Amino acid sequence: MASKQDISAALGAAIGADNVLIDPADCWTYGYDNSRAQALPVAVTLPQDTAAVREVVLACRRFGLPLTVRGRGSGTTGAAVPEEGGVVLSMERMAAILEVNADDRLAVVQPGATNGALQAAAGAGGFFWPPDPGSAEYCTVGGNLACNAAGPRALKYGTPRENTLGLEAVTGEGRIIRSGCRTTKGVVGLDLTRLLIGSEGTLAVITEATLKLSPLPERIATLRAVYTDMRAAAAAVSRIMAQPVVPRVLEFLDGAALALLRDAEPVDLPPGAGALLMIEADGLEAQLPAAIDALQRAAAGDGLLEWRAADSPAEARALWAARKALSPALRRLAPKKINEDVVVPVSRIPELTDGLAQLADRHRVRIVSFGHAGNGNLHVNVLGDESELERMHACVDEVFRLVLALQGTLSGEHGIGRSKRPFVGLEIDPDTLELMWRLKDVFDPDGILNPGKSLPDPA
């Protein structure tokens, strides 16, 4: 095995010594993500262009070193945690917004650009990029692409896969490849763009993205519906999604979330509130009254306690206050939290919420659920302390099995990383997994790109 000095010298010769960190005090900073897992890389590289990324890949291939790409480390599944003794490739010096083209409704960016910086640049020209994960001001576009992170607006506008026109990337073999095109229609060749998005850096290192922009709406209406219980709210979600007006956002908070908020924050909710839907509609000013009316008719039904529409930006912020207060309240409630972003068909949400309540009772843990109900994507938070970890993990195992029994999927946008990898075989059959591993071998024949993530071992 090569020495640390040999590795450092090779990386320095490849991209310049000023772009390589080897001091453990520096490297530890790049060894974790929001999963709270951590490992010490042997070196951190800070490339500034695609050619430098290629040189890093070739050096790691020569030494047989694992290579993990990192944005800002905001992911929750351990996908950005390096293998012990491997190399981290940080995209922080590849953060340029290269082009914002209003005529063609696209932007070209490097992967280290933050989602927030992209939104600001696009917004100056009257556009936005639809993906808006909760960490948008901090997380990078490359990270969004790596796990197909979408956020609330995906309900109407789609995920990164629907809003990316093309990519430039470096494979594990050191090849620079380009996929897609600058037009919204194109069918030449295989769709490698959608394949690379969501692959968590296991197939190639994305070095540039051509993104599809959408025009900013003339107006956004903020609405809130409060229900007696989760089943009534879940049934309302199905009704809302079965009519022609597609909301921009349709967020769900369950009864446990509302109870937590009452304990932690002064929240303006009617007596008997057991579940809440936050709704946004957007479009032309003249079209919004009819859209709001249609959404209100769909939301009405058994269990509706309150329907409110914000009359001003200040009131809109007040209506969102409960949703924004939830995550800080969760952090204060329990020292240990397992957060899973499962997805089920919208029609099965009532069964999911019923099943989660039963699992919480059976395992004697607390479950708080909220999330993007219009997509059937709920963030299921299993809460407890150190003494309850065994029960918490057993509960999560059953949550996954419940979701799959309801024809759902294990992750909507957080990705697989390390934490969900043991469960992938429950969702994907052996023959399909074998084909995925064969694709992995084509892109990364030596298996250096983010090993131990996403796909389970072939065995």
Q: b vs e for 244-266, b when ≥16 Cβ sit within 10 Å of the residue's Cβ?
A: ebbbbbbbbbbbbbbebbeeeee
pLDDT at site 265 = 66
Give the count of alpha carbons within 13 A of 415, CB side only: 30
Residues 344/401, Cβ–Cβ less than 8 Å: no
Output 256 or 50, whichever has higher pLDDT: 50
pLDDT beyond 90 at 334: no
Please report, for residues 36, 92, 209, 449, the alpha-carbon distance to residue 88 in angstroms, rounded to integers and kept in the order given.
17, 12, 21, 10
Residues 453/202, Cβ–Cβ less than 8 Å: yes
For residue range 191-230, what is the model confidence (pLDDT) as tens digits? 999 999 999 999 999 999 999 999 999 999 999 999 999 9
Average pLDDT of the chain to the nearest whole number: 94
253: which strand partners? 276, 370
Output 165 or 337, whichever has higher pLDDT: 165
In three-state secondary structure terms, 204 is strand
pLDDT at site 4 = 84
pLDDT beyond 90 at 312: no
| Assigned token pair, 430 | 């052996």
Output 169 or 331, whichever has higher pLDDT: 169
- How many Å apart are CA 81 and CA 94, to the nearest integer? 20
| Residue whose token pair is 């000023």 | 18
pLDDT beyond 80 at 50: yes
| Residue whose token pair is 């900013």 | 216
pLDDT beyond 80 at 233: yes
For residue range 104-131, what is the model confidence (pLDDT) as tens digits? 999 999 999 999 999 999 999 999 999 9
264: pLDDT confidence band, cut at 50, 70 and 90? low
| Assigned token pair, 70 | 């990192």
Task: Walk me through the domains of the chain, giving residue ranges and CATH numbers.
Answer: 4-90 (3.30.43.10), 97-215 (3.30.465.10), 217-329 (3.30.70.2190), 334-443 (3.30.70.2740)
Alpha-helical segments (H) within 90-210: 115-123, 141-147, 154-157, 192-196
pLDDT at site 182 = 97
For residue range 23-45, what is the model confidence (pLDDT) as tens digits? 999 999 999 998 889 999 999 99
| Residue whose token pair is 């695609």 | 50
- How many Å apart are CA 67 and CA 157, to the nearest integer? 33
pTM: 0.95
Helix then strand then coil, in percent of the chain rounded to 5, is: 40, 25, 35
pLDDT at site 134 = 85
Average pLDDT of span 293-320: 92
Q: What contacts 24+ positions apart, CB below 8 Å, involve 113-122?
A: 113/140, 113/141, 114/72, 114/138, 114/139, 114/140, 114/141, 115/139, 115/140, 115/141, 115/144, 118/211, 121/97, 122/213
pLDDT beyond 90 at 442: yes
435: left (phi over 0), alpha (psi -120 to 50) or beta: alpha
Average pLDDT of span 350-370: 94
